[in-house]
Amino acid sequence: MNKPIFVLNGPNLNLLGQREPAIYGTTTLADIRKRCVTKAKALGFDVEFRQTNFEGELVESVHQARTDACGIIINPAGYTFTSIALLDALKMFDPPKIELHISNVHARESIYHNSLISRVVTAIMIGFGADGYELAIQAMAGMVKRD
């Protein structure tokens, strides 16, 4: 049995589905979690799904993933553009890692254009809305099986 896929979510994503539906859709994070678990199960994987509003907690989840996860899918939300601590933690995680954004960040204001973490991830999933999470699970399962 593979170790679980860690799906990590950063600040404010707990409010998904409650504001700005034109950008982020109407799906809640609880719905996304269910969809990830179902998709992963069909592919023979478990999911450890987390959300935090705290940078250090996100860093600690990445540390834990070094021993407990087969891969990381991470939507760091606002920390994407500010967190060197998260960048450093992800550098120390060797298995596959996917950066995910619900919205197409490149079609938005320039403050959302310069991800600090893109340079250290294996792949990026951007702009597919909530569906991106299931697509990322599928892609991650493929990468882990090939490893």
Residues that bind ligand CA2 (CB under 6 A): 12-13, 15-16, 18-20, 24, 75, 77-78, 80, 101-103, 105, 112
102 is in an annotated binding site: yes
Of the pair 14, 138, the CB lying nearest ligand CA2 is at: 14
Give Cα separations from 120 to 29, 86, 88 (angstroms): 25, 11, 9
Of the pair 71, 132, the CB lying nearest ligand CA2 is at: 132
CB of 17 to ligand CA2, least distance (A): 7
Rounded Cα distance between 91 and 97, Å, is 10
CB of 145 to ligand CA2, least distance (A): 26
83 is in an annotated binding site: no
Active site residue 112: no
CB of 115 to ligand CA2, least distance (A): 9
Helix, strand, or coil (residue 73): strand
Q: Dihedral, CA atoms, 127, 94, 31, 108, nearest 10 degrees?
A: -20
Reference 122, options 1, 5, 32; nearest CA is: 5
Q: Which residues pair with 61 in a beta bridge?
A: none
Active site residue 24: yes
By annotation, the residues acting in catalysis are: 24, 101
